[in-house]
Amino acid sequence: MTKKVAVYWPGDARQKPNELALPNMEATTVQMERALKKLGRTPYRVPGFLSKPHEAIEKLGPIDDPIVGIFVHWVYGPHTTEGVVGKDNPLLLASNFSGQWPGLVGLLNTGACLESLNRKHSRIWTTASDWSEDALFMERLDEWCSSGAIRYEERGVRYHAPIAAEAAQRASRVAAKIRSRRPLLLMLGDTSMGMINGYFGPRMLAGYGFSEHKIDQAWIIDRGTRIAEKRIQDALAFVKAKGVEFHYGADGAADFNEQATREQLRDYLVILDMVSEFGADCLGIQYQLGLIPLRPPTDFAEGLFNSSCRPESNGDTIACATEADQGNALPMEMLKRLLKERGLHQAVMFHDVRWGGEHDGRFLWVLLNSGSCGAYAFNHDPDTLEGAHSYRQPSLYFPTPGGTLAGESLPGQMTWARAYIKNDVLWMDVGKGEVVRLPPEKRDAWWHGTTRQWPFMAADLGVDRDTLMAHYQSNHVAVAYGDVFEEMVALSLELGFRVRVMGAAS
């Protein structure tokens, strides 16, 4: 490998987040440059943030030297992938391990995007304040500098799991229902925020028992004008009566008021009508990108869809994947059906793998996504919305006011899963673990250290930090309360997925 190493800054598509990240990005880049120089390399910088795909093409495409991307905030996958596909020069994604700055989230998403395009790359991360003093980090960086790749241990990763006969039978019954009537995923737009790894498309879905129908998000605006005011008023009365606590005007959010919630419920009702019109089983919502100057965020609606207690409910959940992420939509629908087959409540939560830390001798992940977590996580009562709070989505990202569906997730046993593309086929990661209740002081420190307005889950995924960071192919995860691990492995195999078991379940 050559001595020269290019260092680039993947960016958000929005200018303001890049501006806010600039001091952290500069400091982190200095850390990487110091570490590379200590290993005898000569780093040089690619100028500026890459905040559009064409910038990656124009700035990274001509580079044949080894490349390092610095991840300290949320970034879009194409701001890396489009400049490096079709090439094989060594590529390294590097992140600090911070909850405040979701660089590790951006690294996981970009890594999964690269994997879906069959582009080889390596990952590296550290919690050290001085990267060059982290011995394991430096050992891995030296391996990359010497060989162009980092080999990671597969401790806690397996490709099979024992399945009891009863679990296999339950999975077979669910698979038979899927084959008799293919689940239809209604897609409002395409995957958002550069998550190209999360879109499989009808050609790939068809081989695994699923179908999609895609419609334009602009229909929300047009059809919303024809939603009867009485339906909106009844929906508002319902969510209030069922226990949602609205934090209108909190933290200076003077524009977050009842009218904002009414508009979010208008959009919820529009989408509910479209689910009925198209006979859809589950949902992917693009998260309003493109509509954010015109409509409120969809977080509140997404949380309601993932709750059985919701306006105009038929008593069931509608598995809803934020950011139209099919890698979560598929396991959410599968887990939902397995939970029902097992006699458990069918709610499945959508979360970001945001950050993690040590507590009582084990590593816990902070799972935190803006609003696709249903209220069941906060109360374990399918007939109420108690424990759910709605805070204004931060105005930095959402100029049109609207609230989240947030709360503290209750403790309990859980199963998690994620679908992804590897070598042009679909894989399913499956694991099991435990949702943990933290002491209030630590909970608040972790929650406020990430994004307080969003639903919070502290979880032992059965996976240590380094195993997940090295091998996991997403920044998202689907989480269900209850043990349907064996059933999920069996169902995934029966539908044709390749299966990888991660963590203690392996």
Q: What is the pLDDT of residues 165-184, one digit of tens each?
A: 999 999 999 999 999 999 99
Q: CA angle at residue 224 from 221 to 229, to 5 degrees?
A: 150
Helix (H) or strand (E) segment spanning residue 53: helix 53-60
**Which of 145, 125, 137 is CA-nearest to residue 66?**
145
For residue 452, give both structure tokens: 């307080």
28 and 96 Cβ atoms separated by less than 8 Å: yes
pLDDT band at residue 506 using 50, 70 and 90 as cut-offs: low
Long-range contacts of 168-171 (CB under 8 A, 24+ apart): 168/486, 168/490, 170/338, 170/341, 170/342, 170/487, 170/490, 171/338, 171/486, 171/487, 171/488, 171/490, 171/491, 171/494
pTM of the model: 0.97
> What pLDDT was estimated at residue 24?
94
For residue 141, give both structure tokens: 């960086």
Cα 385 to the center of its chain, rounded Å: 23
Q: What is the pLDDT of residues 26-59, one digit of tens each?
A: 999 999 999 999 999 999 999 999 999 999 999 9
The residue written with tokens 């005898």 in the block is 40
CA gap 4, 13 in Å, rounded: 28
Q: Could you tell me where in the chain the CATH 3.40.50.10940 domains are found?
A: 4-147
Q: What beta strand segments (E) does 325-424 contain?
A: 348-359, 362-367, 389-390, 412-422
CA gap 61, 46 in Å, rounded: 11
Assign 3-state DSSP to the chain and report helix, strand, coil percentages, each to 5. Answer: 40, 25, 40
CA gap 176, 485 in Å, rounded: 19
CA gap 119, 117 in Å, rounded: 5
> What pLDDT was estimated at residue 288?
73
**What length is written for the chain?**
506
Phi, psi of 454 (to 5 degrees): -105, 155
Q: Is the pLDDT of residue 127 over 70?
A: yes
Q: Is the pLDDT of residue 505 over 70?
A: no
89 and 47 Cβ atoms separated by less than 8 Å: no
Q: Is the pLDDT of residue 458 over 70?
A: yes
Average pLDDT of the residues in 234-239: 98
CATH architecture of the region 4-147: 3-Layer(aba) Sandwich (3.40)
Q: Cα–Cα distances in Å, from 498 out to 160, 182, 263, 426, 501?
A: 10, 20, 42, 6, 10
Phi, psi of 284 (to 5 degrees): -125, 120
For residue 497, give both structure tokens: 């997925």
Q: Could you tell me where in the chain the CATH 3.20.14.10 domains are found?
A: 165-505
Mean pLDDT of the chain: 96
* CA torsion angle 125 130 135 141 (round to 10): 50
Residue type, 351: H
414 and 432 Cβ atoms separated by less than 8 Å: yes
For residue 233, give both structure tokens: 């008023």
In 76-198, which residue ranges form alpha helices assigned H by DSSP?
78-84, 103-116, 135-147, 165-180
pLDDT band at residue 464 using 50, 70 and 90 as cut-offs: confident
| Highest CATH level, class, for 165-505 | alpha beta
